[in-house]
Amino acid sequence: MREDVIEREIEGMLGLRERREKDSDLYKIANEVFDRTTKETLAYLHRRGKIEALYGVISTGKEANVFAGVDAEGNRIAVKIYRTYTTEFRRIWEYLAADPRVGYLPKDMRKLVFVWTRREFKNLQRAIKYAVRVPEPVIFRNNVLVMEFIGDELPAPRIKDVERSLEPSDFEELYDFTMGVIERLWKRGDMVHGDLSEYNILLHDRPVVIDWSQATVKRNRMSVELLRRDLRNVINYFGRKGVDVDDFDDKFRELVGV
């Protein structure tokens, strides 16, 4: 497709043809992360009706940015766009190389990011299968992942964002929920999230676990260490909030059977 046609589609998705707000935060971030591959991918998803418009930034990071948007039917969506060239190359490579579900790993960084995106999509599907509340995945292509939007008018906050407004009973309920997620994934799903913390749980009606890029299966040689990380993060955080938490060693032995 001609580059000028793609540019017009992207401008339309960002609302720039109507607003001409080329100094907006959305435009600035998009301009930083939308390389040609990303623009072609977004244009493809736009033509298929999966992304009608992007209208705000939910989060930014070294590895990916997440945008709020709508699809062609007016449904709200979250669009996660991985940077095709990232400083996280070594970490991504190590996680993928250890995952028995992943076969041949391309040496090209851009294609490696495509594998990483597909892996998060599959992780979300697997988590749902084992009754863990996550943003429902819609579609992925190359380095773009389209998911359910969690929130109302604004994106749902993380536990960390609203912890000062929570009551002791709220922390107790959230601790039980989070430990339940760890146990359900490990015992029933043969899976571990790997980065579970107050930063990756949204509060909306009921808690929603996000950021599944590093999640993996129990057969992965890294899985036990990732389980250890999740348990330690969760027990330490909620312990500081006054919750009567499990003993780390006892809970770890219970799960791994040693």
Instruction: Check which CATH number belongs to the domain holding 189 and give it.
Output: 1.10.510.10
| 246 is known as an active-site residue | no
pLDDT digits (tens, 9 = 90+) for 57-114: 899 888 899 999 999 999 999 999 999 876 677 888 899 999 999 988 888 888 999 9
* Residues in CB range of 81: below 8 A, 6 or more apart: 33, 34, 38, 42, 64, 65, 66, 67, 143, 144, 145
Residue 226 lies in a domain: yes
Write the secondary structure of the chain as one string of H (helix), E (strand) and C (coil).
CCHHHHHHHHHHHHCHHHHCCCCCHHHHHHHHHCCHHHHHHHHHHHHCCCCCEEEEEEEECCCEEEEEEECCCCCEEEEEEECCCCCCHHHHHHHHHHCCCCCCCCCCHHHHHHHHHHHHHHHHHHHHHCCCCCCCEEEEECCEEEEECCECCCECCEHHHHHHHCCHHHHHHHHHHHHHHHHHHHHCCCEECCCCCCCCEEEECEEEECCCCCCEECCCCCHHHHHHHHHHHHHHHHHHCCCCCCCHHHHHHHHHCC
pLDDT digits (tens, 9 = 90+) for 16-31: 555 555 556 777 777 7
Q: What pLDDT does 16 receive?
A: 55
Task: Please tell me whether residues 73 and 166 are part of one structural domain.
Answer: no
Task: Please tell me whether residues 32 and 106 are part of one structural domain.
Answer: yes
Backbone angles phi, psi at 233, to 5 degrees: -55, -50
Of 240, 216, 219, the residue nearest 229 (C-alpha): 216
Q: Which of 211, 230, 246, 247 is catalytic?
A: 211
Q: Are 134 and 121 in contact (CB under 8 A)?
A: no
Task: Please tell me whether residues 130 and 163 are part of one structural domain.
Answer: no
Residue 90 lies in a domain: yes
Task: Please tell me whether residues 198 and 134 are part of one structural domain.
Answer: no
Q: Are 227 and 186 in contact (CB under 8 A)?
A: yes
Q: Could you say which residues of the chain have pLDDT below 70?
A: 1-5, 15-24, 86-87, 258
Residue 60 lies in a domain: yes
* 56: Cα separation from own chain's centroid: 17
Of 99, 80, 216, the residue nearest 139 (C-alpha): 80
Alpha-carbon distance of 215 to 51, in angstroms, equals 26
Q: What pLDDT does 21 receive?
A: 54
Q: Which of 35, 161, 190, 195 is catalytic?
A: 195
Q: What pLDDT does 232 receive?
A: 98
Whole-prediction pTM: 0.90
Last residue of some domain: 148, 172, 204?
A: 148
Residue 154 lies in a domain: no
Containing structural domain, residue 138: 1-148
In the chain, the number of structural domains is 2
| 195 is known as an active-site residue | yes
